[in-house]
Structure 1
Amino acid sequence: MTRFQLNLRRGHKFVLSALLFGLSMARIMANVLRIAWAVHNDNARLVIAASIFANAGMLLLFVVNLILLQRVVRAYQPQIGWSKAFGWTFRLLYSGIAASLIMVVVSVVYSYYTLDSHTQSQLRCIRLVTAVYLAVLAFVPIPAVITILLLPRSFPIEHFGRGTMRIKVVLLLFTSVLLSLGACFRAGGAFIQRPTENPGWFNSRAAYYCFNYVIELVVVFTYALSRFDRRFHIPNGSKGPGDYSNGGLGGMSGQQSTDEETLSGDDDGVPSTGQQVPLKNIANKKA
């Protein structure tokens, strides 16, 4: 949150930093509630609240990665990334995340207040559906990035933020692989039911914390230490092809600084030697 506020004072608006702060707060609350539940293990409300915060926190990382994916696609393939179909696709994905959170919260809360086996079975089906959806959602950036890299480009890459586009792609792929691993572990564990007296290795505390909290911790620190608030920043008000370039690299002053020219490179990772031609100017020349 400190980084977000400092950037905001300099006119560098990057809301994703606030989302990671929200994730950190959700994780702190989840662990505090789990500790309280360990002391008062007969209090069902504590475990319900802990489950809600645990599920709500991880969804924020999925949202962050989808937003970063959207920016990378618009930089490499602006005609695809700025199309209405592409925009509506992401709106549906975000809506699915919100719906998944609501379904998980309702099913978790209701499951603690009913003993009917049929109802419990239906609630479990809801949790399985949401677990599979989130696993697919966490995996989406990987094939999407590979696809846009293989597709032929009609226009130059629209560089944005600081650093080379190659580093941005590597960061997105690395975090997506980790989040996919955690989401697939949760989905697989949800499908396999083991008796309480003979739990599987995936039911252990070590597996729970490693595939949930440790993975999320690595992702958050990866973004924080790599200064993704600078690397993935786009100019305010970007609404179409060419806006990333016209706004200037970094988007903090509207002008391209010498440091940003040195850090920003083309798709081969070679530092740029000149200003990139905005797509809108190319379109005007062709017209």
Structure 2
Amino acid sequence: MLVSRPAPALFGDYPLRKDDIAGSVICIVCFFVLAVTNMTIYRRNLARGHKFVPSGAMFGLCMARIVTFSMRLAYTTHPSNVNVTIAASVFIAAGVIILFILNILFSQRVFTAQHPSRAYVGSLFYNVMRMYYISIIVFLIVLVTSTGVYYHTNATVMKGIAHFRKAAMVYFTIAAFMPIPIITAAYAIPQSEQDKTWPVHYAHWIAKYSGLYSPDPRSMPSATEFYSEVHEGDTRTPVHVIPPSDRGAREVSLALIIAPSVVLTFATAVRTVSSFRSAEEIFKPWYDYRVTMYLCIALAELSVEIAWILGRVDLRFYIPDNDKQWKKLAAAADNEKIRAIDLDVDEETEVELERANRSVGEVEVGGKNPQG
């Protein structure tokens, strides 16, 4: 007599119609509302000359999660479809990477504001952070690729790449936690004299960081005015930073980095523990329950997005140099200055020539009069 073997434990458990249909629909609706909100904020700011790319990235996360729970919904109604199962697992593994990168980016901007002489564009810190972002994307590719192998029929292949998948999850857990040591270093390392005197640019025209406030384009200086504030008399390259802490609300800004980092670290750690359990394990541990998946993915990411929207990260962590148009306008303004100087020189030359001609004429007239 053949006895059917129980299915192995799986993060998020195997879907059930009575639970997953309702849960997936609620998640889809919630992420759709946040997607509309993020895009509204992005377009409204953009219309006022305030380009904040992370708002667009937050919109992208919401759209990715809509697809994630749509696949979970399809997985619930078609549990025997292997392609749908793989797609659902892949989208669960991806998506949150956007929040990791954004939170690290915000913490990097805090560090740059505290230590501009150490974190300017092209510095060691700046280049290390760029490489770190690239490494996160590489590990994401590894994780997405290996997720599909979970359902591979070749046991040898599964065992061969299992350690890559585990390494990726550990790396993501570190990435989720990384903003905390960056923030700690920003305030633990004393500011040098160069940090205190280094020329910086920040959006000083932003009046507040709460409510429905949007920057008034009439209060924004022109590119010429904005850059001339520092460039005059200083040959060092200015650093674009977030507003300094003496403008207030520093604690709230730091909380908007640290609290999401704690939430995302815990959620990612749970998924990491799940990846380390044996694929042959048939007893379902606590971290593989369905409710755990909804808490660690849906609730954790929704709470982070809501906190960032209500906390107005689009104003707190905005730097003017986000938009390359600033550099173009500044370059055009500089060209206009050079042309103006050239015109002044040409006008002065013409005046001098005219004066010289007049002098020659007077001399000639003076020389002819005695003879007459």
Normalised to the residue count of structure 2, the TM-score between the two structures is 0.60
2:95 alignment partner, SS class = helix
Over 3 Å counting, the alpha-carbon distance change for 1:103 and 1:238 in structure 2 is same
Q: Deviations for 1:45-83, whole angstroms, at most 9, x for unmatched residues?
A: 112222222222100001111211111110011122225
Over 3 Å counting, the alpha-carbon distance change for 1:238 and 1:85 in structure 2 is farther
The CA distance in 1 between the partners of 2:321 and 2:66, in whole Å, is: 32
Identify which of 125, 129, 132 aligns with 2:163: 125
Partner of 1:263: none
Alignment of 1:1-287 (within 5 A): 1-82=39-120, 84-112=123-151, 114-154=152-192, 155-156=195-196, 160-161=242-243, 164-193=249-278, 197-236=282-321
The CA distance in 1 between the partners of 2:48 and 2:263, in whole Å, is: 33
Q: Deviations for 1:139-167, whole angstroms, at most 9, x for unmatched residues?
A: 11111211221111123496635852232
Q: Are the counterparts in 2 of residues 73 and 81 from structure 1 also a CA contact under 8 Å?
A: yes
5+ long unaligned stretches in structure 2 = 1-38, 203-241, 331-372
The CA distance in 1 between the partners of 2:40 and 2:115, in whole Å, is: 34
The CA distance in 2 between the partners of 1:53 and 1:9, in whole Å, is: 33
5+ long unaligned stretches in structure 1 = 248-287
Letter in 2 for 1:77: H
Give the percent of matched residue pairs that are identical in Structure 1 and Structure 2. 32
Partner of 1:275: none
Superposed CA RMSD: 2.3
Quote how far apart the aligned CAs of 1:6 are: 0.9
Q: Are the counterparts in 1 of residues 176 and 265 from structure 2 also a CA contact under 8 Å?
A: yes
Quote how far apart the aligned CAs of 1:87 are: 1.5
Letter in 1 for 2:58: L
Q: Deviations for 1:79-132, whole angstroms, at most 9, x for unmatched residues?
A: 2222521122112111112111211222122443x3222211122211101000
Of 25-34 and 117-126, deviating more is 117-126
Over 3 Å counting, the alpha-carbon distance change for 1:156 and 1:168 in structure 2 is farther
Quote how far apart the aligned CAs of 1:19 are: 0.6
Over 3 Å counting, the alpha-carbon distance change for 1:195 and 1:111 in structure 2 is closer
Letter in 2 for 1:92: M
2:140 alignment partner, SS class = helix
Letter in 2 for 1:99: V
Letter in 1 for 2:116: P
* Structure number with higher relative contact order (C-alpha < 8 Å, ≥ 6 residues apart): 2
Q: Are the counterparts in 2 of residues 194 and 200 from structure 1 also a CA contact under 8 Å?
A: no
Partner of 1:250: none
Q: Are the counterparts in 2 of residues 73 and 80 from structure 1 also a CA contact under 8 Å?
A: no
Q: Are the counterparts in 2 of residues 128 and 190 from structure 1 also a CA contact under 8 Å?
A: yes
Larger Rg: 2
1:233 alignment partner, SS class = coil
Over 3 Å counting, the alpha-carbon distance change for 1:238 and 1:21 in structure 2 is closer
1:199 alignment partner, SS class = coil
Q: Are the counterparts in 1 of residues 143 and 169 from structure 2 also a CA contact under 8 Å?
A: no
The CA distance in 1 between the partners of 2:89 and 2:315, in whole Å, is: 33
Normalised to the residue count of structure 1, the TM-score between the two structures is 0.77
